[in-house]
Chains A and B, each alone.
Chain A
């Protein structure tokens, strides 16, 4: 397994990073939170023009046809800058779902538009409180009509198209711009990625081609967890460096704050978590590119490592800033909020711990028998 980035991937990372550093500045994020827009349209256009949205979409569907690892590299930069674009919903969830379970006609119709950024797509599974669970989905697809309530759905107000999990489980493809679909915006903890409750009342919908719905959903979330592990790792590193830089610049009791062992050791522990997260994420990316048999274990490992690193880095970053960290003008809150969103959007640590231990103990079982 190759755990390094290729020279091209390093260049890609740098190119994406430059664009996002310029556009997704803290001041731009602060403005967006209160503007209700939920997206920086200008940035979205540029991200699309650079070919980033279609990076992992095959050329026959209007993409660039790079590998999953290239998408990981982009996701890492998106996480580092808390970029205000629906990249994860449209590309890492919806486009991936189409690639996994779309009919030929669906892929041919929608993927080129998603790759160009003309269409924003999202993915809807959860139905209120509780972990996303394939067995208890109540939304129904019958006779080309979709009925049910999905919540929370990320970037729903921006999206033209949704892949919706329905009873079976099966997947349905729904145009959101139709009279059978009604949105109710949610007030979220992280308003930089807006969510909505979506009501489907006999909405026109098409069945997708998921023969084994359970397996399709598992694969989709394993893949998404790897992309998100990069997003989280990039973000965790960014929060760690923010804390480091702040403590280097501040003096207390006649010394640099960063010179206190209590501060150094806390940041050293965070560095360890970030490096473990990065190592696990790189392994999972290689497993993803190879579609390896151990992808479920690798994805769960990467997600758990990255979730922990980001949550702790985000909390301690605010803590080490002291009182100023609690202010709107300081930039700690972007990560503080985003870390929570990414810790739960694909399922909590407890959910993934369960998946991981189940998979590992299943491997153990034949040996014990």
Chain B
């Protein structure tokens, strides 16, 4: 750490001590309150140049280095500040992609409302027949003068009902191999023909949606990158999504210490089998925390650390730990009770962990990635290197 970094850290700490004081304790918020509070906090940060540190002041930043953003995030992480997914998608996934693949005009046009806390985003990538095989997507965009006419169905779009913008992948050329015929757009979610329907999940909640697109008009000025460059844009988005998920996983994780207390309370801590499980989860929890620090340093050096392992380990661990939390009370662990207010959270985490093992790259896809990218093993044999419209199931 240079002196400059330490000066910045001290400055950020002082600013947060004043402005984030209201987030010292966790608070329960409704979805609507969370959205409003997240955007308001983003605006407050932008006014002080902390909205997106690498951006210029008119975009809520201060032209600072990326590592200063990491320092700020570390300090901000000490508070229970409001952060809803739609803001994270905008700042952490949409904007880096638009910056890399779009024009400076587009970066400014979409970046300003995003970094100033005036726009929430969602991601319209997956489809009913394109999940892990995302490049098999069928939503099509057809050029019509200066516009594109989009028709199709998207699924798993988190917070789409609160989004102002979406990042959208659509097929613009079905006559070439599937990865080559995709284009990346920004969609204004208030455009006529966009219909968002909530999906009821196994948790009982509806964080995700189906989004139906019927003759939706997108101006060509909202196309990011060239026609056919959509897959490269999608890879940029996914890289940022998987790296970002490490932090959010740590927050939702109740922690092994709490589980040890639970095991002690239920009289199970003397069991060697229980100790072995707890120790293994602890090894993973600590290992991931330390690995997270190493990732940042490696990324700063321009290396490609195996970030895919973070979600792979964390999601399964979350599932196993919450199952154990129920086990600890035997049969009664399956029921809510006045004497165990945390049980509702346990149920929720156990169901949510099932989604985490799938979203943003299923366990199986992540293992392929680790083997191929980190260990240099061969990619999967492919049967889809033909024009998209000649694929089995499509034609």
Give residues in A with beta carbon < 8 Å to B.
1, 3-4, 240, 244, 247-248, 255-256, 258-259, 261, 263-265, 267-269, 271-272, 275-277, 279-280, 282-283, 300-301, 304-305, 308, 349-350, 352-354, 356-357, 360-361, 363-364, 367-368
Residues of B within 8 A of A255 (CB): 381
Docked Cα-Cα span, A282 to B313, in Å, equals 19
* Interface flag for B362 (CB, 8 Å): no
Interface residues on B, range: 35 or more
B291 touches A (CB below 8 Å): yes
Q: When A271-B374, A368-B261 are in contact, do A280 and B283 touch as well, CB less than 8 Å?
A: yes
Q: Which residues of A contact B282 (CB under 8 A)?
A: 301, 356, 360
- Chain B residues lying within 8 Å of A308, measured Cβ to Cβ, are 280, 283
For residue B368, CB closer than 8 A to chain A, the reply is yes
Chain B residues lying within 8 Å of A357, measured Cβ to Cβ, are 260, 269, 275, 278-279
Kindly list chain B residues whose C-beta atoms are within 8 Å of the C-beta of A240: 375
Bound-complex Cα distance A261 to B370 (A): 12
Contact present for A3 and B294 (CB under 8 Å): yes
Decide: A264 near B368, CB < 8 A? Known: A276-B283, A308-B283, A353-B276.
yes
Identify B290's interface contact among A244, A282, A353, CB under 8 A: A282
Residues of B within 8 A of A350 (CB): 272, 275-276
A357 to B376, CA, bound (A): 37
How many residue pairs link A and B with beta carbons under 8 A? The number is 133
Give 5 closest A-B pairs by Cβ, nearest first.
A276-B287, A264-B371, A279-B290, A268-B370, A259-B378
CB-nearest residue of chain B relative to A283?
A: B290
Query: Which of A259, A277, A283, A364 is in CB contact (< 8 Å) with B381?
Result: A259
Q: Enumerate chain A residues within 8 angstroms of B367, measured Cβ to Cβ.
A: 264-265, 268-269
Q: How far is the CB of B295 from chain A (nearest CB, A)?
A: 10
Main secondary structure of the interface of B (DSSP, over half): helix
Is there contact, CB below 8 Å, between A248 and B377? Answer: yes
Contact of B287 among A1, A269, A280, A349 (CB under 8 A): A280
Pair A4/B257 contact, Cβ less than 8 Å? no
- Is B364's CB under 8 angstroms from A304's CB? no
**When the two chains form their complex, are residues B370 and A244 in contact, meaning their CB atoms are under 8 A apart?**
no
Bound together, the chains give a CA A363 to CA B371 distance in angstroms of 39
Nearest residue, chain B, Cβ from A269: B367
Q: Are A280 and B290 touching (Cβ within 8 A)?
A: yes
Question: Which residues of chain B are near A4, meaning CB under 8 Å?
Answer: 294, 297
| A1, B293: Cα distance in complex, Å | 10
Nearest CB in chain B: distance from A276 CB, A: 3
C-alpha spacing A65/B118, complex, angstroms: 57
Chain B proximity of A41: nearest CB distance (Å): 37
Q: Contacts A4-B297, A258-B377 given; indicate if A276 touches B288 (C-beta within 8 A).
A: yes
Q: A264-B368, A350-B276, A357-B260 are in contact. Are A276 and B291 (CB under 8 A)?
A: yes
The listed residue (A264, A283, A304, A368) touching B279 by CB distance below 8 A is A304
